[in-house]
Structure 1
Amino acid sequence: MKNQYHIEGMTCEGCRSGVENILKSIPEVTSAEVHLERKEATITSKKLLDIEVFEKALPDKYTITEKGNNITDFSESGIEISAGKSELRQLFPLFLIFAYITITSVLLNYNPWSTDDFMLDFMGLFYVVFSFFKILDLKGFPQSFRMYDPLAKVLPVYGWVYPFIEVGLGFMFLMRFNIHIALIVTVFVLGITTIGVTKVLLDKKSIQCACLGTALKLPMTKATFIENAIMLVMAIWMLAKNYS
């Protein structure tokens, strides 16, 4: 797995060499390359390491932080990210957020029960919560997003405005404002993203999923496809119902 980190405290070539040697001495690290001018370290490891491992290894004069545009490359390690507990552990934040959104939507509509309102609240909460994590790192998200979204690849500005599109759609669903427009936009934006996700899965590429921004590093898996598919099915079903 390859990741990039920002390192403060290096003042000379000797510092750079010392930091590089320390990082290479960590048992799980297979290679490390440190750049003095860019204050950057590229580290390849056998497994994903917590940043605390590097903090403990380096002297106090150095400060190491994860880069906002970090993309974990799982393919170089030869590790299958879909292997059992490892994948479930990595996707736990996604499952937990889905559970909270689902439970909240049910509680809002259980008495009396309304399937339509449940779906509208679910989609609204989905967008609001997921956009929050994307906005946490507005600089890093577009770079991760265009790794798989076809429109973001050809139109980089789309990656910058996408989190705010989600915010707008979320409030439109929750406030029941111009629902038809919100549903059409949902089918459009998630349809494009789902095409990109499907291509990544078919090509068996190992990249980071930007569905929860870059704050939580999630691998691109079938769960990402299912997440988008649920929203698409809801939007298409409601559009078909309203126009029938």
Structure 2
Amino acid sequence: MIHTYQISGMTCSGCQAKVQSLLSQIKGVKNVDISLAEGTADITMEQHIPTDVLQKALEAYPKYQLTEAHTFPATSIMDDTDNRTWLQTYRPILLIFAYILGITLIAGHQSNGFSPMVMMRVFMSGFFLTFSFFKMLDLQGFADSYAMYDIIARRIKAWGYIYAFVELVLGLAYAFNLLPKITSAIAFLVMTVSLAGVLQSVLNKQKIRCACLGAVFNLPMSTVTIIEDGLMIVMSLLMFILY
């Protein structure tokens, strides 16, 4: 069954992610869809959960007030993302990937021919710098979203904030070709740990937002995220071996 609740106090995507995270931790809750614009939460439950139990989950954050609104049959609620095509859903990340790839191919052309190593280094730099930029736009929102699925951030909330800066440092290190072997080893480790949380969420069929582009875009967790992380792992491993 799906119950809809009014939630006041949400003012940004960080608030949205925090409320979603808190409500998702309640036993018996299968999925939580938050509408920041309408100030509502559609909660899918295995069985009815009393309103006071839901309110108690938010009591550590008094500015979020939950009140009961309406109850609908499970089939009557549609997530807005269900109406979008695959291309519409992932258009932002595909455009970013295309621009980074274009710059990478241009940079790979040297006076003495094409350099695969330069190409990979520029791609890694562009990837980490671009993705860290979007995370920095709403650092708290990213940290809240990341804590919903990352295996470290779930236990240590501060890791979500640190991770954005780790990506920034890796991007700069690749850009200036600083300690390339160490940089690639760190990138391999960071992306492998990140992939573990993504795989766990996808395999469990959790309907949560991917935090790869911070809290700016509403991208669902899916195989696209797995491919993205997997590609970075393979490239960092190749660069570590080749250097």
**TM-score, normalization by structure 2:** 0.70
Per the alignment, residue 133 of structure 1 pairs with 134
Take 2:134 and 2:190, find their aligned partners in 1: how far apart are those partners?
18
- Contact 1:70–1:214 (CA under 8 A) maintained in structure 2: no
Following superposition, the deviation at residue 69 of structure 1 comes to 3.9
- Contact 1:69–1:144 (CA under 8 A) maintained in structure 2: no
Counterpart AA for 1:216: F
Counterpart AA for 1:98: F
Per the alignment, residue 227 of structure 2 pairs with 226
**TM-score, normalization by structure 1:** 0.70
Q: Secondary structure at the match of 2:154?
A: helix
For the aligned residues, what is the CA RMSD?
Answer: 2.3
Per the alignment, residue 108 of structure 1 pairs with 107
- Contact 1:149–1:197 (CA under 8 A) maintained in structure 2: yes
- Contact 2:128–2:171 (CA under 8 A) maintained in structure 1: yes
Q: Which runs of 5+ in 1 are unaligned?
A: 3-29, 41-64
- Contact 1:146–1:159 (CA under 8 A) maintained in structure 2: yes
Per the alignment, residue 204 of structure 1 pairs with 205
Following superposition, the deviation at residue 180 of structure 1 comes to 1.0
Following superposition, the deviation at residue 87 of structure 1 comes to 3.0
Q: Secondary structure at the match of 1:154?
A: coil
Following superposition, the deviation at residue 136 of structure 1 comes to 0.3
Take 1:221 and 1:192, find their aligned partners in 2: how far apart are those partners?
17
Q: Secondary structure at the match of 1:33?
A: strand
Following superposition, the deviation at residue 104 of structure 1 comes to 0.5
Per the alignment, residue 86 of structure 1 pairs with 85
Q: Secondary structure at the match of 2:6?
A: strand
Take 1:205 and 1:94, find their aligned partners in 2: how far apart are those partners?
20
Take 1:34 and 1:132, find their aligned partners in 2: how far apart are those partners?
30
Take 1:229 and 1:168, find their aligned partners in 2: how far apart are those partners?
20
Listed one character per residue, the Cα deviations across residues 9-28 of structure 1 (whole Å, up to 9, x for unaligned) are: xxxxxxxxxxxxxxxxxxxx
Following superposition, the deviation at residue 181 of structure 1 comes to 1.2
Following superposition, the deviation at residue 147 of structure 1 comes to 1.1
Counterpart AA for 1:143: D
Per the alignment, residue 6 of structure 2 pairs with 33
Query: Given the superposition, is the C-alpha separation of residues 173 and 92 from structure 1 closer, same or farther in structure 2, using an over 3 Å criterion?
Result: same
- Contact 2:132–2:165 (CA under 8 A) maintained in structure 1: yes
Q: Between the two proteins, what is the percent identity of the paired residues?
A: 31
Following superposition, the deviation at residue 137 of structure 1 comes to 0.4
Q: Which runs of 5+ in 2 are unaligned?
A: 21-31, 34-42, 45-76
- Contact 1:152–1:158 (CA under 8 A) maintained in structure 2: yes
Take 2:15 and 2:146, find their aligned partners in 1: how far apart are those partners?
10
Following superposition, the deviation at residue 155 of structure 1 comes to 1.7
Per the alignment, residue 25 of structure 2 pairs with none
Alignment of structure 1 residues 55-204 onto 2, 5 Å: 66-71=12-17, 73=32, 76=44, 77=77, 85-111=84-110, 112-204=113-205
Per the alignment, residue 58 of structure 1 pairs with none
Take 2:188 and 2:83, find their aligned partners in 1: how far apart are those partners?
32
Counterpart AA for 1:198: L
Listed one character per residue, the Cα deviations across residues 30-89 of structure 1 (whole Å, up to 9, x for unaligned) are: 845144xxx34xxxxxxxxxxxxxxxxxxxxxxxx54334247459546596x6953321
Take 2:164 and 2:94, find their aligned partners in 1: how far apart are those partners?
20
- Contact 1:206–1:220 (CA under 8 A) maintained in structure 2: yes
- Contact 2:13–2:215 (CA under 8 A) maintained in structure 1: no
